[in-house]
Amino acid sequence: MVLSTQGLAPITNPLNSVLIEKELENIDQKFDQLVSLAEGLPRTEFVESSKNYWRGICRSLIFRFPDDLEILKLEGRGLVNRSKGIIQIRSAARLGQSDLGVNLRRVQYLFNNLENL
């Protein structure tokens, strides 16, 4: 997927994709935890990973439609507290005009479970 200098690629269709970012403490630990949660999602295939970026493909249960899932860590540039930063999660359907809220629920699940760790 395309990364800009600002982060992940913007959403082009809000009916079948979502991009949410949160500012978090202990950014390195939180990024690793989110990647672990994402890799544990059902029908999710790991595609690419680096120090600050992870990408996978999540498939729907019945028809196996592919959704792209990306996690990006933007470390706190210029901040006094270096352990603080922003994490962006983008989940987008490759097919169709609507995902019936699946991608939003996926991203909410990841952030909600991160808070419970």
Model confidence pLDDT, tens digit, residues 14-35: 999 999 999 999 999 999 999 9
Query: For the chain, what are the domain ranges?
Result: 18-115
pLDDT at 10: 94
Distance CA 78, CA 105 (A): 33
Question: DSSP E strands: which ranges in the chain?
Answer: 3-4, 7-8, 17-24, 44-49, 53-59, 66-75, 85-93
pLDDT at 76: 67
pLDDT at 43: 97
- Spans in the chain with pLDDT lower than 70: 1-5, 76-82
What's 18-115's CATH class? alpha beta
pTM of the model as a whole: 0.90
